[in-house]
Amino acid sequence: MAITSTKHHDTHEPAHRYGFDTLAIHAGQPNDPLTGAVNFPIYQTSTYGQEEIGGKPDFCYTRTGHPTRAALEANLAALEGARFGLAFSSGMAAINNVLNLLQAGDHVIACRDLYGGAYRIFTKLYAKFDVSFTFVDTRDPGSVRRAIRDNTRLLWLETPSNPLLTLTDIEACTSLARRAGVWSVVDNTFATPVLQRPLRLGADIVVHSTTKYLNGHSDVLGGAVITSDAELHEKLKFFQNCVGAVPGPQDCFLTLRGLKTLSLRVQRHCDNARRIAAFLETHPAIKRVHYPGAAHHPQAELARRQLSDFGGVISFELEDDIERVKRFSRGCRLWTLAESLGGVKSLFCHPATMTHASVEPDVRRANGITDGLIRLSVGLEDASDLIRDLDAALDAARDATRDARSARHRVEA
Ligand SMILES: *Cc1c(COP(=O)(O)O)cnc(C)c1O
| Residue whose CA lies nearest to ligand 1 atom number 1 | 209
Q: What is the pLDDT of residues 211-243, one digit of tens each?
A: 999 999 999 999 999 999 999 999 999 999 999
The pTM of the full predicted model, rounded to 2 decimals, is: 0.92
**Residues near ligand 1 with C-beta < 6 Å?**
90-92, 115, 117-118, 158, 162, 187, 189-190, 209, 211-212, 221, 223
Cβ partners under 8 Å of residue 109, min gap 6:
133, 134, 136, 144, 147, 148, 152, 154, 155, 156, 182
Answer with the one of 237, 259, 281 that is the final residue of a domain. Answer: 259
| Residue whose CA lies nearest to ligand 1 atom number 6 | 91
Quick one: 272 and 323 in the same domain? yes
Quick one: 60 and 19 in the same domain? yes
| Residue whose CA lies nearest to ligand 1 atom number 7 | 91
Of 97, 164, 212, the one to substitute when testing ligand 1's pocket (max ligand atoms within 8 A of C-beta) is 212
Quick one: 184 and 274 in the same domain? no
pLDDT number for residue 92 = 98
Mean pLDDT of 356-360: 83
Structural domain that includes position 359: 262-412
Q: Please determine, for residue 186, whether its predicted confidence score (pLDDT) is greater than 70.
A: yes
Distance 223 CA to ligand 1 centre (A): 8
Distance 62 CA to ligand 1 centre (A): 24
Number of domains in the chain: 2
Q: Is residue 3 part of a domain?
A: no
Q: Please determine, for residue 193, whether its predicted confidence score (pLDDT) is greater than 80.
A: yes
Answer with the one of 201, 235, 259 that is the final residue of a domain. Answer: 259
Q: Please determine, for residue 272, whether its predicted confidence score (pLDDT) is greater than 70.
A: yes
- Minimum mean pLDDT among 15-29, 62-76, 126-140: which range? 15-29
Q: Please determine, for residue 370, whether its predicted confidence score (pLDDT) is greater than 80.
A: yes
Answer with the one of 227, 259, 291 that is the final residue of a domain. Answer: 259
Angle 91-99/230-243 helices, nearest 10 degrees? 120
- Minimum mean pLDDT among 93-102, 340-349, 355-364, 373-382: which range? 355-364
pLDDT number for residue 398 = 83
Q: Is residue 346 part of a domain?
A: yes
DSSP state of 199: G
Q: Please determine, for residue 4, whether its predicted confidence score (pLDDT) is greater than 50.
A: no
- pLDDT band at 116, cuts 50/70/90? confident
Phi-psi label, residue 191: left if phi above 0, alpha if psi -120 to 50, beta otherwise: alpha
Mean pLDDT of 173-188: 98
Quick one: 119 and 176 in the same domain? yes
